[in-house]
């Protein structure tokens, strides 16, 4: 039989680039990053004619804090709640986290007192000692005196106790109540001038939050091109959901720490697990490898322990975006582009600058970017977050060690 050559495209036929929605040229990107992201949209989008219309829609996933927004919306919500007496006194501070130390329990009890009945609001708007102690533990994992607030064993690539402690602080509240606090904090933070700060006890923290226009445009363009777009955050899910709807992402596409509710619909100190862990007090949250697990479990329906493993090409996101080491695993799993906002985080930036597969897209923060990091990233010695804690050499898939990297995108 004679082979019949494939028909050439008709003259003037639109290319994938012409058919697919285009990223705006108004909000600026570093170097050729806009073009590189547009290429993924053109190649993978259902608009392209060959990028996914025969199977499941392509998936993009983004971290939230300092990736889609400038500044941390969890901190904004905690700060607002402390300034408005929304933290309820627990029966025992030690019971709020399985890892909370005796030192932390005693410090919180001393600072916040016992005069307020259990389950009643603590007067943190006026009791600055209590506010200081709570926020310092959230911020640094230490008491105001410098003692470790958390101790024990946990997998350092699956959780960090002080992140898990935030939704645990809101135990006793309903989800709608927490959403209302997040909404009030959002309104306040968006109205505050860029660069403004706020004071919590002796702590000074950012007073404003902004949606990054580049990320808003990227998410909107991905959705128009047929991508399913998700948020994967290590914050509290009700808080993240309040913010994610501002970029057109609904509850079903927002993944964060999901608290277990009691029979009255109130938040408990337990959260839902991933990869076969079941309900825990924070042993498996969307953090480093935990973000991969939640992506695999909630988006690609991978069950049990397999959700912790890197999946085959067809069960991985096409595009991932993040700004910190907590994002490195799921962003690295992306098959089309690994978008990184540079906040000088060692493991993530070592991966980005090593650029082993040629698909890493590094960009300075869009608002108030950091200056160039002095010296090299310690990729070959101390960039990898070890499961048992501490740091070690970062290696590639083939086992070779990533060499130290210079900061070049700032």
Map out the domains of the chain with their CATH numbers: 27-71+211-406 (3.40.50.1000), 74-206 (no CATH)
Using 50, 70 and 90 to split pLDDT, how confident is the model at 234? Answer: very high
Using 50, 70 and 90 to split pLDDT, how confident is the model at 87? Answer: very high
Average per-residue pLDDT for the chain: 95
What is the per-residue pLDDT for 70?
A: 98
Rounded to two decimals, what is the model's pTM?
0.94
What is the per-residue pLDDT for 49?
A: 79
| Alpha-carbon separation of residue 42 from 68, 136, 192 (angstroms) | 22, 46, 37
pLDDT in tens, 141-168: 999 999 999 999 999 999 999 999 999 9
Using 50, 70 and 90 to split pLDDT, how confident is the model at 18? Answer: confident
For 43-57, 306-320, 374-388, which range has the lowest pLDDT when averaged over its residues? 43-57
17: pLDDT strictly greater than 90: no
pLDDT in tens, 311-344: 999 999 999 999 999 999 999 999 999 999 999 9
pLDDT in tens, 165-193: 999 999 999 999 999 999 999 999 999 99
What is the per-residue pLDDT for 200?
A: 95
């Amino acid at each position: 039989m004679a082979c019949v050559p494939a028909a050439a495209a008709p003259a003037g036929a639109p290319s994938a680039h012409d058919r697919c929605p285009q990223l705006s040229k108004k909000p600026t990107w570093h170097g050729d990053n806009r073009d590189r992201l547009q290429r993924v949209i053109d190649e993978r989008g259902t608009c392209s004619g060959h990028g996914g219309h025969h199977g499941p829609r392509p998936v993009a996933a983004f971290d939230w804090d300092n990736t889609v927004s400038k500044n941390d919306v969890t901190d904004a919500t905690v700060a607002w709640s402390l300034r408005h007496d929304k933290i309820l006194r627990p029966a025992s501070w030690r019971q709020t986290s399985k890892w909370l130390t005796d030192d932390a329990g005693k410090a919180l009890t001393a600072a916040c007192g016992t005069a307020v009945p259990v389950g009643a609001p603590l007067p943190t708007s006026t009791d600055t000692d209590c506010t200081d102690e709570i926020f310092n533990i959230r911020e640094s994992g230490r008491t105001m005196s410098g003692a470790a607030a958390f101790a024990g064993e946990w997998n350092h690539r699956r959780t960090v106790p002080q992140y898990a402690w935030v939704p645990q602080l809101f135990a006793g509240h309903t989800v709608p109540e927490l959403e209302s606090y997040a909404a009030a904090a959002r309104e306040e933070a968006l109205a505050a001038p860029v660069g403004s700060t706020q004071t919590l006890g002796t702590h000074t923290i950012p007073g404003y939050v902004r949606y990054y226009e580049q990320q808003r445009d990227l998410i909107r363009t991905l959705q128009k091109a047929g991508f399913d777009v998700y948020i994967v955050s290590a914050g509290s899910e009700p808080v993240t959901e309040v913010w994610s709807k501002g970029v057109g992402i609904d509850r079903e596409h927002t993944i964060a720490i999901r608290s277990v509710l009691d029979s009255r619909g109130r938040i408990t100190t337990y959260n839902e697990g991933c990869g076969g862990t079941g309900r825990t007090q924070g042993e498996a949250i969307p953090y480093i490898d935990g973000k991969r697990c939640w992506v695999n479990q909630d988006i690609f329906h991978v069950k049990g322990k397999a959700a912790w493993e890197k999946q085959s090409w067809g069960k991985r996101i096409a595009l991932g975006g993040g700004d910190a080491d907590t994002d490195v695993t799921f962003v690295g799993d992306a098959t089309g582009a690994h978008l990184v906002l540079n906040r000088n985080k060692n493991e993530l930036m070592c991966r980005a600058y090593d650029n082993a597969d040629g698909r890493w897209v590094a960009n300075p923060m869009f608002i108030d970017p950091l200056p160039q990091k002095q010296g090299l990233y310690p990729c070959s010695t101390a960039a990898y977050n070890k499961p048992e804690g501490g740091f070690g050499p970062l290696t590639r898939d083939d086992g070779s060690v990533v060499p130290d990297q210079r900061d070049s995108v700032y």
